[in-house]
Structure 1
Amino acid sequence: AGIHGNVAYSLFQGSGGSQPFVIDEATGEIRLKGALDFETTPYYNMEIVARDSGGLSGKCTVAIQVLDVNDNAPKLTISSLTNSIPENAPEAVVAVFSVSDPDSGDNGKMVCSIQNELPFLLKPTFESYYSLVTEGPLDRESRAEYNITITVSDLGTPRLTIQHTITVHVIDINDNAPAFTQTSYTLLVHENNSPALHIGTISATDSDSGSNAHITYSLLPPQDPQLALDSLVSINADNGQLFALRAMDYEALQTFEFLVAATDGGSPALSSQALVRVVVMDDNDNAPFVLYPLQNASVPCTELVPRAAEPGYLVTKVVAVDSDSGQNAWLSFQLLKATEPGLFSVWAHNGEVRTTRLLSERDAPKHRLVLLVKDNGDPPRSASVTLHVLVVDGFSQPYLPLPEVARDPSQEEDLLTLYLVVALASVSSLFLLSVLLFVGVRLCRRVRKASLGGCSVPEGHFPGHLMDVSGMGTLSQSYQYEVCLSGDSGTTDFRFLNHYSQ
């Protein structure tokens, strides 16, 4: 009692110092003087001393258990990491990591996860270690990069979570051959094109990357050994442009086919093929050719028509062809010139030459027809044909040959003009020669007359049987006499009578 019953409490010096506790000296209440950390010191042992005023004391030990709270988030530690994975790897390890949580109980238990629908798996290895692996071969062409987020959560209340992101690049492997945009190509080119003409482009794509996607184009040997492909087309190896090496001729080659290969730059290289068909389009570069009647024959063909032929009588049929095609080969016939217009006509579509009326006696026996054969091209081309028609009374009657070679109308006109000039010159020359001859004869006679001076009388004795004619007498019937009239006489009808015996 009294002062001997007053007790004072204190911490034993041996366990004090670093203790985060204090004790009330009068009441003995133990209080914290700082924050506790379960992860540093999970429990404490303290010795308490009680002393009275008389100097007596007693001891006891107080054990303090620190209760854990979820105040630490999990930790993730990467041990190994591979950021690039070949796409054809069957199962590859991307990363190995460990997780830890200093809390206890459920606060220290952890779960790991990644996003769903990714071709990766988390596999626990031992204790708190995990590995991130691929489920199977990856496809870079579908997805070239993955961002994987690893989530680690504890089971405390409330839960604490951490996340770590790993970026994985998929390395390309040459596992895709080039693919053409079309399985076959049809290219059109007009004939008579200029050499080195760009006629079309083929294109292929490769879903790989880098050198695995670099495409080179080439021509494959043609299946037809007769096709000289190297002289027809060439291809740009870098962009697939096709060029015509020479002018195409539709009449010689309408279409041809060949294969084109597209090869990538991978190792090993992959390739694919496409069929290219080149169609040569026709141009109107050929004039119609007349098969009948032949125009180059030495003796022209002559058609016979009976004079009694009815209107519409088929004289002949002009046969012509055109080596072009389509409308460039559609032929029409037209009568350009005829010896007697209106007697013959030609059907525009089949070339049949027919009479249009009855023949009469006044119609000429020989006729010359010039026909035009024209195609339907743009611009149109044409050829002319000359027909010789002979009108006969019967087919047994021989006919006169016509001129051997049909001449151009302009040439005939030139020849006719030449003939007229020659004939005129000949007639003029003959006329001038006749005039000169006539003048010469007259001059010659005048000169001869002047030299005689009168009538020439035979010398010597006249025969006795001559009679005087001054009266009414008559000359002898047995003789005729030469009579000369003087120049002064006005009668010049008879100058000389030849002397001859009856």
Structure 2
Amino acid sequence: MEAGVERAVQKRQVLFLCVFLGMSLAGAEPLRYFVAEETERGAFLTNLAKDLGLGVGELTARGTRIISDQNMQFLLLNSLTGDLLVNEKLDREELCGPREPCVLPFQLLLEKPFQIFRAELWVRDINDHSPVFVDKEISLKILESATPGAAFLLESAQDSDVGTNSLSNYTISPNAYFHIKVRDSGEGNIHPELVLNQVLDREDIPELSLTLTALDGGSPPRSGTALVRIMVVDINDNAPEFVQSLYKVQAPENSPVGSMVVSVSARDLDTGINGEIAYAFFYATEIILKTFQLNPTSGNLYLKGELDYEAVQTYTLTIQAKDGGGLSGKCTVVVEVTDVNDNQPELLLSSLTSPIAENSPETVVAVFRVRDRDSGNNGKTVCSIQDDLPFLLKPSVESFYILVTEKPLDRERNTDYNITITVTDLGTPRLKTEYNITLLVSDVNDNAPAFTQTSYTLLVRENNSPALHIGRVSATDRDSGTNAQVKRIPRN
């Protein structure tokens, strides 16, 4: 298990990326831990006390806890022993999808004294998914005039696993006419091509049925199959050709559903049915089918679902133009989703100390974190509080902020404070979030009792009886509770 330790001015408004030099943070690299997906709940990961060089009891004494952006309790810290355990089974595909590596960042927060350590949980993939073809039967029309060496793209399988456990090869059932060639797209995806070995004769063999098998790289490998039905057709000597082989367009993430993204166009030199073109998606993933809709006649591409820059920034689509004779051409459409300022900043409160003693200067009142899911200036934030309060807002590390007292408080003047933390992003239009904190001030015995008069003159008749009431003296105390209870002791 790999581990690296990190050790990580004063303004009312501070930018998101400022660094608070007064706090300590351990090092440039985060602590790093590895776990295989589907590991059982309660599995031991590490002993944090040893990793941080702390005694066993220090984690409890310093108020140690785990914070994660995902608000997921995927880890459990036993602060008595220092053991870090897996709190739930992790599904790498659900957590990270196709992204590799699958890294879940979290922070270790020690409150007394305040210290933050960055850490990462790397979830390793296991081979728990088999390759799957969207269509169990693939129909293919091939002209009898096709020459040996001609290649025909087949539908690719999908495998939710990544790395060596993802798709690695394709095979075809033994036959004399075709073999499989595996083509690498250059983006980590492989596609099968059916390559012709010898000339077809429609009069001898009008149709062939072959089994296409997709294999992953796991040990042992998993596989999935699809039936390839090949129909041999009479000659159609011109395949459709797209005007452009690559279409690149940009679409704002707030584009309305139903709006047109791009129009693709292909042409075919043949006439009649052999020149009639129909457009369709080729090897479209589930997310593409949910997001886009293609007009088969015009080639217009429309939005079927909402775009979200924070979820997907780029879509790559392959569109096929097929004529009535079975020949086809393909083009690639790349849709780049552009960000708009549609996410308000978020404030995540980690700790709050209330009430706080009135004689507590430079005391940490609250610890919180700010984040904004937008990008660029839309994701940069400014954080502030009211100007007329005896508090300071200090930036820490990893977008953490600390609210501290600027000077001793006076409970006799203010028994509580209503603090509004305002987080504003730098996008257009600017979005903001306000978070209200009510802080109670507890009393300390900082006021001496005071008489209502500095001297009292009382007249007493002579020969009076004992215990005769001759007057009253009065004293007050500005403190509260037991600190304000006054006891009068006479002196000779």
Q: What's the TM-score, normalizing by structure 2?
A: 0.43
- Which protein is richer in helix relative to its size? 1
Larger radius of gyration: 1
Higher relative contact order (CA 8 A, sep 6+): 2
